[in-house]
Amino acid sequence: MSEKPHIVKSYEEQLQLLKDTIIKMGAGVEKQLEQSIQSATKKDLSLAEKTIKDDETIDRFEVNIEEQVVNLIALRQPMAIDLRETVVALKISSDLERIGDLAKNISKRLISVGVDLPTEIVKNLEIAGLKAAKQVNSVLNSYLHRDKAVAESVWNSDEEIDQITNVNMEAAVKHLEKNKSDIKKVTQLLFVLKNIERIGDHATNVAEQTYFLITGEYLEGDRPKA
Amino acid sequence: MNKITARDVNVFYGSKQALFDVSINIQEKEVTALIGPSGCGKSTFLRCMNRMNDVIDICRVEGSIKMDDLELNSNKLDVVRLRENVGMVFQKPNPFPKTIYENIAYGPTIHGLAQSKEEMDQIVETSLKKAALWNEVKDRLDEIGTGLSGGQQQRLCIARAISVSPEVILMDEPCSALDPIATAQIEELIDDLKKEHTIVIVTHSMSQAARVSQKTGFFHLGKLIEFGETEKIFKNPDNQQTQDYITGRFG
């Protein structure tokens, strides 16, 4: 349904501000994710440090969204699409905040092992990271443009990140078998790979929420998993 | 189970048509809320269910409205018996300018429901208890009903309505003149009354409709636009007009 504006302009503006804040938070999280992966691929740990610092901004966005949602519920008593808009914003902000935390954690681990990493694992990390970043970008677009087909597509694609993660984990273990002295680095990289997989899960949660926001219905069936 | 079944109800005030082909099933022992902008026909429809439109000379009702198997829109219907079975509560509390006791005893007296003073006392007590007013007025039943507060007067009117044990209670914006506490008391009462009565309530308060009803019907320009589970109507209505109205986008 395409929506007419509310009769009460200030209510319309408050709901618009909520949507805008989610999009700004999403853009911040995308940047965090991108930087954290690039700190490994470009061997530039200043990007990892920046990612860690940027997480404070993301956390503040989450608090701000929570305040907006509580105010809307207390003062406007939203109904139907407005109620879904309000409740979904709260849940999406929570998933975005977790993605930010995971990007921060990736950065911390990369700082702890330095830039001299096994090339093959870094390559795999880049493939998985780009895929996860694409998922986050697509789901934010589906939220922005109210595109349920894109939300569904993100939901269905999570399986691919799971598969990539499984392959990458196996490759990392094989590398370790041949290069036992890399144990500290590879252990940290295994966590990094797992974090990327978790980021995909959060993007899928956002896709579920966005689909509910648009349709008022829940995506049916079990999420595809590898 | 359906308590009231309306089929293709059309209502005219002179040459002006107020309701267009309204069909609806009112479930027994549930609360059904009718919502919609002023002049949409919701009160007109409510009044069809106890033939209150009969008092308007130029009003003509077509179609079928059945309560169980009884056709309400029939010339042969005993309207007095109908109103014994279908009580009504209005927007503004309208107790009789008589004592609290007499307000309640009036209906049972004219319908011959009590054979003795003891029986009448019992009806008055039970009705006031069901209307959650007994504790507040039990020691002053001989005081004038219009001396009570607005919320108490409305509960007195509800007690008066239920004193003749109607199966259906119609409420036309029963809380619009009440403060939030008195409103909450009426809403609590509605919750309680639905165990024994079928309730149809017209309200302008979206949140009240959402709080008290199990089914909601949205009227616009004399048509029933959408009717369904209250949860569905307020979470994810099927009709764009319904959504525009309940979210304040109407007009």
Q: What is the mean pLDDT of chain B?
A: 95
The pLDDT score that the predictor gives to residue A224 is 67
Best of A11, A79, A86 to disrupt the B interface (most B CBs within 10 Å) is A79
CB contact under 8 A, B236 and A79: no
Domain for residue A2, yes or no?
A: no
Contact between A128 and A196 (Cβ < 8 Å): yes
Contact between B35 and B173 (Cβ < 8 Å): no
CATH code: domain of residue A93 = 1.20.58.220
- Please give the tally of structural domains in chain A: 1
Q: Domain locations in chain B? A: 2-92+167-246
Cβ-Cβ contacts under 8 Å for B82 (sequence gap 6 or more): B50, B51, B67, B72
**B246 contacts on A by Cβ (under 8 Å):** 79-80
Domain for residue A15, yes or no?
A: yes
DSSP code at position B78: -
The pLDDT tens digits of the residues spanning A120-164 come to 999 999 999 999 999 999 999 999 999 999 999 999 999 999 999
Does residue A32 have a pLDDT over 80? yes
The CATH number of the domain covering residues in B2-92+167-246: 3.40.50.300
A82: contact with B, CB 8 A cutoff: yes
Round to whole Å and give the CA distance between A118 and A107.
Answer: 17
Question: ipTM value of the model?
Answer: 0.80
Domain for residue A164, yes or no?
A: yes
Contact between A142 and A207 (Cβ < 8 Å): yes
Domain for residue A99, yes or no?
A: yes
CB contact under 8 A, B235 and A3: no
**Which range marks the domain in which residue A142 is found?**
9-215
**B237 contacts on A by Cβ (under 8 Å):** 80
Domain for residue A225, yes or no?
A: no
Domain for residue A3, yes or no?
A: no
The pLDDT tens digits of the residues spanning B167-220 come to 999 999 999 988 899 899 999 999 999 999 999 999 999 999 999 999 999 999
Does residue B106 have a pLDDT over 60? yes
CB contact under 8 A, B247 and A81: yes
**A3 contacts on B by Cβ (under 8 Å):** 243-244, 247, 249
Domain for residue A4, yes or no?
A: no
Q: Which of A132, A126, A140 is nearest to A162 (CA)?
A: A132
Distances (CA, A) of A225 to A148, A155, A164, A222: 20, 10, 12, 8
The encoded tokens of residue A34 equal: 């991108």
The pLDDT tens digits of the residues spanning B64-89 come to 999 999 999 999 999 999 999 999 99
